[in-house]
Structure 1
Amino acid sequence: MLKHLRSLSGHQNPIYALANSGKAGIFFTGGNDKGVVEWSLSKMSFVKVLMPVRTSVYSLHSYNDLLYVGQRSGELSIFDLGKQEVTASFQAHDKPIFDIITVPEKQEFLTASEDGTVGVWSMSDLSLLYRIRVSADTVRAIAVGPGSKHVAFGCKDGVIRIYDLTDYSLLHILEHHTLPVTSVQYSPDGKYLISGGRDAQLNFWSLPDYQLQHTIPAHLFSIYGIAFHPDLPYFATVSQDKSIKLWGSDDLKLYKILSIEKNTHGHTHSINKLVWSQDGKYLLTTGDDKLVMIWEWAT
């Protein structure tokens, strides 16, 4: 179902962030290096260092022709891919920015930080609309629900907090993880929210009531990423345990494990991020081994 196609090198340090471009065949990475890197999926090669950064890049998010870059310093930069230049850079938080997501329906974007707050920003003039105190500690992950009605925040205190995207009122507090929540994703069919944590568990919460339905001991260590295939009923997870796992999104069955410990190609260190290509033909993974691995979907 997934087979190793290529490993791309170029980063000199661990890679923490990964994002597709709005342009097919282009993706971006960032980490503990001095720049954000652009890659060509069609050519399977490095393209260029897109922009320099002052501190480590912890988050990347692409929307239309803009690339949002969140740094360890709390600085947020916006790179215009059409103009090929940084059009804005400002101090969004006092501490690292761990996740960024756009809400096009509201013309807003959200930033989640180690300072325990989420910034709500205007996409048009970049003004700060709200700063929400979500947690006393790090807000690690953001996911926007079906119809952009709800937003889920995964937090270091082991709690997932669900807010109404209309007025940013707190709707639900989900407590089941025993360690920090490191990833959250809504299923494309709108039936459930998946959360992954440092406790290596995947929790499945039904929608719209957010009741815990299933818990799977999915990995050996922290689950750093969850990504649904764009067309087929599968999702993939990546972990600090160096493995990639492919699951059925309907039956929650484990279909594939990619790991050097299972005698397949694999990362040698923690896997920090994953993303599917827009056409679903490839899965991209990055991690502490400084590599970008490209996995081909094979029927």
Structure 2
Amino acid sequence: MITHLHTLSGHQNPIYALANAAKAATFYSAGNDKGVVEWSLATMAFVKVLLPVQSSVYAMQRHDNLLFVAQRSGLILVFDVMQEKILSTLSYHQKAVFDVKIIAYKNELISTGEDGMVAVWSLKDFSLLYHFPVIQNTVRVIAVSNDEKEVALGCKDGIIRIYNSEDYTLITELKDHSLPVTSLQYDPGSSYLISGSRDAQLKVWTLPDYTISNSIPAHMFGIYSIAFHPTEPFFATCSQDKSIKLWDSRNFKLYKILSLEKNTPGHFHSINKLIWSGDGRYLISTGDDRQVMVWEFNA
């Protein structure tokens, strides 16, 4: 079902962020290094340092030919990958930015992080449109519903807060995790929201009313990323426990554990981020061991 294909080395420090490129078979990685790196899935090799950064990168989001790079400094770089230049530097957050997401129908970017604030930016001129407080400390992760009408925020107090994307009013608060929420995704079929936490639990919230329908003791330690396959009914999770797990997205059956402790290839430190390649052929993982691992998927 899923097998280790290649390990890409070159980063000198922990890696926190991955993003697919606009062009096929290319992706980006970044972390506690001095640059965003471009890799080729066609050649399984380093391509180039895409752009230098002045502080650690905690999240990246691509939109058309733009790459948004969120940094520990609180700054967000807007990089045009075709022109290979920085178009703008978004400055509002006073502390680290942990996540950025696009709301395409409004032509907006939203950002959040250690300051507990959400900032809303125009994709037309990169101006700051709006900002509002969520909590007094960290908001770790953002998920946008498939119809883009709702925005979920995973917070340090263990609460998931759901906002209306039209006017950013609070819709509801989901309280079942006992520790900070560190990963969050809406499933592609728009039937549920799934959350992961430092409490090592996966929680499934049925839409549209966000009633909790499942609680899964998924990992030994915090769950740092959840990634749904683009076309097949599977999702992957990764954790501070150094494992990757592959699940059925319909019945939550566990199919595969990728871990050195299970005598498979794997990471030897905390795994911080997962993405699927655009065509769904590869799962890409990375973390504190400075390695980028590429896994081949066969349904």
Cα distance in 2 for partners of 1:90, 1:119 equals 10
Check whether the contact 1:21–1:63 (CA below 8 A) recurs between aligned residues.
Answer: no
Cα offsets for 1:102-142 (capped at 9, x unmatched)? 11111001111100011111000111111121111111100
Q: Which stretches in structure 1 are left out of the alignment for 5+ residues?
A: none
Check whether the contact 2:78–2:90 (CA below 8 A) recurs between aligned residues.
Answer: no
Tell me the matched-pair count: 299
Matched, 1:38 2:38: yes
Matched, 1:18 2:18: yes
Check whether the contact 1:144–1:152 (CA below 8 A) recurs between aligned residues.
Answer: yes
Check whether the contact 1:8–1:291 (CA below 8 A) recurs between aligned residues.
Answer: yes
Q: Which stretches in structure 2 are left out of the alignment for 5+ residues?
A: none
Which position in structure 2 is the counterpart of 1:140? 140
Shift of 1:87: 1.1
Cα distance in 2 for partners of 1:166, 1:146 equals 14
The letter for the 2-side match of 1:177 is H
Which position in structure 1 is the counterpart of 2:180? 180
Cα distance in 2 for partners of 1:144, 1:298 equals 28
Shift of 1:298: 2.6
Which position in structure 2 is the counterpart of 1:255? 255
Which position in structure 2 is the counterpart of 1:157? 157
Check whether the contact 1:36–1:53 (CA below 8 A) recurs between aligned residues.
Answer: yes
Matched, 1:205 2:201: no
Shift of 1:289: 0.4
Which position in structure 2 is the counterpart of 1:271? 271
RMSD of the alignment, in Å? 0.7
Check whether the contact 1:196–1:223 (CA below 8 A) recurs between aligned residues.
Answer: yes
Cα distance in 2 for partners of 1:223, 1:195 equals 9
Cα offsets for 1:184-203 (capped at 9, x unmatched)? 00011010000000000000
Check whether the contact 2:90–2:126 (CA below 8 A) recurs between aligned residues.
Answer: no
% identical aligned pairs: 58
Mapping for residues 67-86 of structure 1, pairs under 5 Å: 67-86=67-86
SS at match of 1:12: coil
Cα offsets for 1:263-287 (capped at 9, x unmatched)? 0000000000000001100000000
Cα distance in 1 for partners of 2:224, 2:143 equals 14
SS at match of 1:105: helix
Cα distance in 1 for partners of 2:148, 2:160 equals 17
Check whether the contact 2:72–2:95 (CA below 8 A) recurs between aligned residues.
Answer: yes
The letter for the 2-side match of 1:274 is L
Check whether the contact 1:100–1:109 (CA below 8 A) recurs between aligned residues.
Answer: yes
SS at match of 2:147: helix
Check whether the contact 1:179–1:197 (CA below 8 A) recurs between aligned residues.
Answer: yes
Which position in structure 2 is the counterpart of 1:89? 89
TM-score by length of 1: 0.99
Check whether the contact 1:97–1:111 (CA below 8 A) recurs between aligned residues.
Answer: yes
SS at match of 1:42: coil
Runs of 4+ aligned residues of structure 1 deviating over 6 Å after TM superposition are: none
Cα distance in 1 for partners of 2:32, 2:252 equals 34
Cα distance in 1 for partners of 2:277, 2:83 equals 24
Cα distance in 1 for partners of 2:176, 2:42 equals 42
Which position in structure 1 is the counterpart of 2:295? 295
SS at match of 1:146: coil
Shift of 1:90: 3.3
The letter for the 2-side match of 1:115 is D
TM-score by length of 2: 0.99
SS at match of 1:11: coil
Matched, 1:218 2:218: yes
Cα distance in 2 for partners of 1:23, 1:154 equals 30
Which position in structure 2 is the counterpart of 1:99? 99
The letter for the 2-side match of 1:295 is W
SS at match of 1:172: strand
Which position in structure 2 is the counterpart of 1:112? 112
Shift of 1:164: 0.4
Check whether the contact 1:70–1:99 (CA below 8 A) recurs between aligned residues.
Answer: yes
SS at match of 2:124: coil
**The 10-residue stretch of structure 1 (80-89 or 260-269) with the greater mean CA deviation from structure 2:** 80-89
Which position in structure 2 is the counterpart of 1:3? 3
Cα distance in 2 for partners of 1:31, 1:114 equals 17
